[in-house]
Amino acid sequence: MAERTVDISSPILSRNERLAAELRERFARTHTFVVNVLSSPGSGKTSTILATDALLREYGLRSAVIEGDIASDVDAITMKEAGIPAVQINTGGLCHLEGNMISQAVDALDEGVGLANIDVIFIENVGNLVCPVDFDLGENLCVMILSVPEGDDKPVKYPGIFQHAGAVLLNKIDVAPAFDFDRDAYNATLDDLNPQAPRFEVSATKGTGMDAWAAWLREQIAAVRA
Amino acid sequence: MAERTVDISSPILSRNERLAAELRERFARTHTFVVNVLSSPGSGKTSTILATDALLREYGLRSAVIEGDIASDVDAITMKEAGIPAVQINTGGLCHLEGNMISQAVDALDEGVGLANIDVIFIENVGNLVCPVDFDLGENLCVMILSVPEGDDKPVKYPGIFQHAGAVLLNKIDVAPAFDFDRDAYNATLDDLNPQAPRFEVSATKGTGMDAWAAWLREQIAAVRA
């Protein structure tokens, strides 16, 4: 069953790879570090980006956000209220972001604030643990956010996205006592799937653990610019 | 952007509609009530099915489960340990279930325990708020589960699946005090999107509110069989 789907989507995928390569060159030229933020709906992508931006500002780094949603512009409004330049993409029902949408959004950011004034672009992908993995957006880093209430078995059930991630955040650890989340089982699965990616345990809304994540991210940004 | 996707997937969709109609006829012949269970990853599909089965047994109704996952068979094992006949579908990366997969799984259930011995089949779809909506599986009822930790804004952001649902469960209400979930905002959005679908506030693991949901479900089953 899966093969048929791969056959059908391959023209889109190869077109997307070309667009992703163009985006990657463009980001390299403008020294823009790009983070593709992936998670289920409601794991805390928006609050993580907000809290990360606040810490990166302390390092003198300026963020912008590309918001991907099926519908609505509530997240872009939230970002703008926090003083972060934001562009909303509505996919009109599509379950992931693709390179052509990012190209248009980057054009809009460039016309608005100018890419020269942006150090980091966070792309908040559609909340989905499956489809976004197949679409390279020219990013430097994919960060995967799992939240404690979703359960420790999610890496077992959705291995592809956890293998793909360059960093894994376990969010909402402030509510861990209320949930039956087995950290050992979670870590053992990630040891198998993706031992290279650093893991951070955080509460984006409470600020717990965010310093370590932001410091690591700052290092990645500096390494790319060096 | 969305139109292109619709064009590409339409041969699959029309083939799926034919298969769904066949499944619907088959379920009607065998008096099997079928529930398509939809949610994000980790909202509590498995625990809701387990708790619902326990209550339906008190009414003398026998359940079976078709488990849809990208990978792993942990949910089917959980069901079998609870004494519920279960068939695992691994989609091999595909983000939703389709009619042909359900046909094969129903064949397996029929060969195993016999459809004549099953009153209700729960189809646990892939955890995804976008793609499964487009694929009719011949079910009598689509039930959408949102969990409190995901946030009250999910119906705004993923309207399609909430509009599509025949019933909406708000799960994990036992942890509501730890989260900033605005019930009024949630209910107001559903009043707009889907005023017909009954809503139940439940905790599948604690049992809260499950009686009302199971009683309503029993009525739907009885109505189809009358």
Q: Which of B21, B35, B23, B96 is nearest to B63 (CA)?
A: B35
DSSP symbols for B13-72: HHHHHHHHHHHHHHHHHTT-EEEEEEESTTSSHHHHHHHHHHHHHHTT--EEEEEEESS-
Give dist(CA A69, CA B148) in Å, integer.
20
- Chain center to CA of A146: 11
Residue B202 corresponds to which amino acid? V
Looking at beta carbons, which residues of chain A come within 8 Å of B153?
Answer: 72, 74
Q: Who contacts A27 (Cβ-Cβ below 8 Å, separation ≥6)?
A: A33, A34, A121, A138, A140
Residue B2: pLDDT above 60? Answer: no
| Contact (CB<8Å) A42/B5 | no
Q: What's the sign of the alpha-carbon dihedral A80, A82, A85, A87?
A: negative
**A143 φ, ψ (degrees, to nearest 5):** -115, 130
Mean pLDDT of B131-143: 97
Give dist(CA B78, CA B76) in Å, integer.
5
Give dist(CA B97, CA B20) in Å, integer.
12
For residue A55, what are its two tokens?
């810490």
Give pLDDT tens digits for B35-55: 999 999 999 999 999 999 999
pLDDT attached to residue B3: 36
pLDDT attached to residue A6: 39
pLDDT attached to residue A133: 94
CB B124 within 8 A of CB B103: no
Residue B90: pLDDT above 50? Answer: yes
Mean pLDDT of B61-81: 96
- B72, B126, B153 member nearest A74 (Cβ): B153
Nearest CA in chain A to B181: A42
Share of chain A above pLDDT 70, in %: 96
Give pLDDT tens digits for A62-92: 999 999 999 999 999 999 999 999 999 999 8
Q: For chain A, what is the mean pLDDT?
A: 94
From the candidates B150, B173, B205, which should be mutated to test the interface with A, based on the most A CB atoms within 10 A?
B150
HSE-CB of B208 using CA atoms within 13 angstroms: 12
> Strand order of the sheet with strand B86-90?
B86-90, B63-69, B120-124, B33-39, B141-147, B167-171, B199-201
Residue B20 confidence class, pLDDT cut points 50, 70, 90:
very high
Angle at the Cα of B71 from the Cα atoms of B70 and B73, rounded to 5 degrees: 120
CB atoms < 10 A from the CB of A103, how many? Answer: 17
Give pLDDT tens digits for B96-120: 999 999 999 999 999 999 999 999 9
- A1, A158, A179 member nearest B70 (Cβ): A158
| Contact (CB<8Å) A41/B154 | yes
| Contact (CB<8Å) A72/B157 | yes
Indicate the length of chain A as a whole number: 226
HSE-CB of B87 using CA atoms within 13 angstroms: 22
pLDDT attached to residue B10: 66
Q: Match 């699965």 to its residue by tokens.
A: A189
Query: CA of A201, closest CA in chain B: separation in Å?
Result: 17
For residue A115, what are its two tokens?
């890419």
Looking at beta carbons, which residues of chain A come within 8 Å of B154?
Answer: 41-42
pLDDT attached to residue A14: 87
Residue A210 confidence class, pLDDT cut points 50, 70, 90:
very high
Query: CA of B199, closest CA in chain A: separation in Å?
Result: 20
Give pLDDT tens digits for A135-191: 999 999 999 999 999 999 999 999 999 999 999 999 999 999 999 999 999 999 999
Angle at the Cα of A38 from the Cα atoms of A142 and A35, rounded to 5 degrees: 40
Looking at beta carbons, which residues of chain B come within 8 Å of A127?
Answer: 40, 129, 157-158
DSSP symbols for B180-222: ---HHHHHHHHHHH-SSS-EEE--TTT-TTHHHHHHHHHHHHH
In this structure, the dihedral spanned by the alpha carbons of residues B22, B24, B30 and B32, taken in order and rounded to 10 degrees, is 150
Give pLDDT tens digits for B169-222: 999 999 999 999 999 999 999 999 999 999 999 999 999 999 999 999 999 999
Looking at beta carbons, which residues of chain B come within 8 Å of A160?
Answer: 70-71, 93
Q: Is A147 helix (H, G, I), strand (E, B) or coil?
A: strand
DSSP symbols for A158-186: SHHHHHH-SEEEEE-GGGGGGS---HHHH
Give the ipTM.
0.90
Query: CA of B96, closest CA in chain A: separation in Å?
Result: 9
pTM above the 0.90 mark? yes
pLDDT attached to residue B11: 75
Looking at beta carbons, which residues of chain A come within 8 Å of B98?
Answer: 1
| Contact (CB<8Å) A94/B5 | yes
For residue A7, what are its two tokens?
């056959």
pLDDT attached to residue B9: 53
